[in-house]
Structure 1
């Protein structure tokens, strides 16, 4: 797409492709949400979107992703990649930033369908967007967070080199919940998998960067 080159941006790893979703991708992503993302007895998300009734959940997922694309601006951008494994959409991985040209800091969030968890794919998809951030966009730091009762997400962060960065206390389902904030410096990140970035140069202005930005080889 000539006037929205983000649709041509892709990240590839040995097992995954990450891309900005098409309408068909969003339809498939909504299927993964319906199939289940987590144990119903706990809530791993600060915004409990998976608590929506089954009749409303698919539409909510699609509207959220379309809204994110509509609101994307160079000084406040949000790449909501779908994660594709063996030709099938299995989850979502986002990379976002505000005033990135100055702050050089990004934030991440993600989810995988339950059938695809516990296979190392969560680490691989986060590594892909961190490589985009550090090697492709010149980020200095990346931040994330996870609730203390979400050991899988915290383990991915530790594996990738994040360090603790304080706590966030909030209310989830009427109960007190504590999130661990995490921070990763560029010099502390080494991707555990090879990552290739495709179609980045035309996208640089959409990240608030000049087209003279050095690109990864």
Structure 2
């Protein structure tokens, strides 16, 4: 894989994570049109909201602008004390969604939270599971994480199934009134290295040393 020209200046752009047919790399401006097309085609049924932050609400243009602003903002605010590493998910070269890892005070907490989405036409194929496994392997094996968390609504069985399939266990729940006025249960989950169910194929990571240095992870 060709190294991105900004990688020497911006180490996240030099990270690649691959496992079998799946590969992850940091979201770049050139990926935004393809990601936007996936979002406009649909990533969850109309009338449902699987995300704790309801970022898919609004007109298509509003969602597109909000999506781009989000990715620009997380790059600009990435520091050792708080960062989000968002990647595109590729299957045999085709972008199918995003997989992220977010944290605060990682050098002390060694804890990150996963989050992801996949275009509807690519759902149900196990891609979300493999992308999450790949990101967790990166976090545990290359960043030195000791715990990974996830949050999901109790009425989002697809997300909960992925979490439990790879070893997350329940860490409590709370009733929540969503931004749309819907009452639901927010489920918290956590994963540690001994409980992690790894993918059948090896996870290969490139560029981790530079991002560790940038984020002051020792």
The TM-score range, normalised by the shorter chain, is over 0.9
Tell me, yes or no, if the aligned pair for 1:27 and 1:62 is still in contact at 8 Å. Answer: no
Alignment of 1:8-87 (within 5 A): 8-87=14-93
In structure 1, list runs of 5 or more residues that go unmatched. 211-217
Q: 1:189 aligns with which of 191, 196, 202?
A: 196
Instruction: Give the C-alpha shift of residue 205 in structure 1.
Output: 2.1
Distance of 1:17 and 1:26 partners within structure 2: 17
**1:74 touches 1:205 (CA, 8 Å); kept in 2?**
no
Structure 2 distance, partners of 1:106, 1:131, is 12
What's the offset of the Cα at 1:90? 1.0
Question: What is the deviation of 1:136?
Answer: 0.8
| The one of 119, 136, 142 aligned to 1:113 | 119
Residue 154 (1) aligns with residue 160 (2): yes
Gaps of 5+ in 2: 1-6
- The answer to whether the 8 A contact 1:140-1:185 is kept is yes
Residues of 2 paired with 1:5 and 1:145: CA distance?
Answer: 28
Q: State the shift of 1:43 in Å.
A: 0.6
Match of 1:215 in 2: none
Number of equivalenced pairs = 210
| CA positional deviation for 1:47 | 1.2
Deviations 1:26-78 (CA, angstroms, capped at 9, x unpaired): 12111111110101121101111111211222221111111111111011111
**Contact kept in structure 2, 1:15 and 1:86, CA below 8 Å:** yes
Other structure's SS at 1:50 match: coil
1:174 is paired with a residue whose SS is: coil
Q: Is the 8 A contact 1:128 1:195 kept in 2?
A: yes
Pick one of 167, 177, 181 that aligns with 1:174: 181
Tell me, in whole angstroms, the C-alpha distance in 1 between the residues paired with 2:93 and 2:55.
Answer: 26
TM-score (norm 2): 0.93
Deviation string 1:152-210 (CA, Å, 9 cap, x unpaired) is 11111111111100113322211212111001111111312321111111111233213
Alignment RMSD (CA, Å): 1.2
Rounded to whole Å, the distance in 2 between the matches of 1:181 and 1:155 is 13
- After superposition, what is the alpha-carbon deviation per residue over 1:82-127, rounded to whole angstroms, capped at 9, x for unaligned? 1112222111110111111111111110000000100000000000
Report the counterpart of residue 202 of structure 1 in structure 2. 210
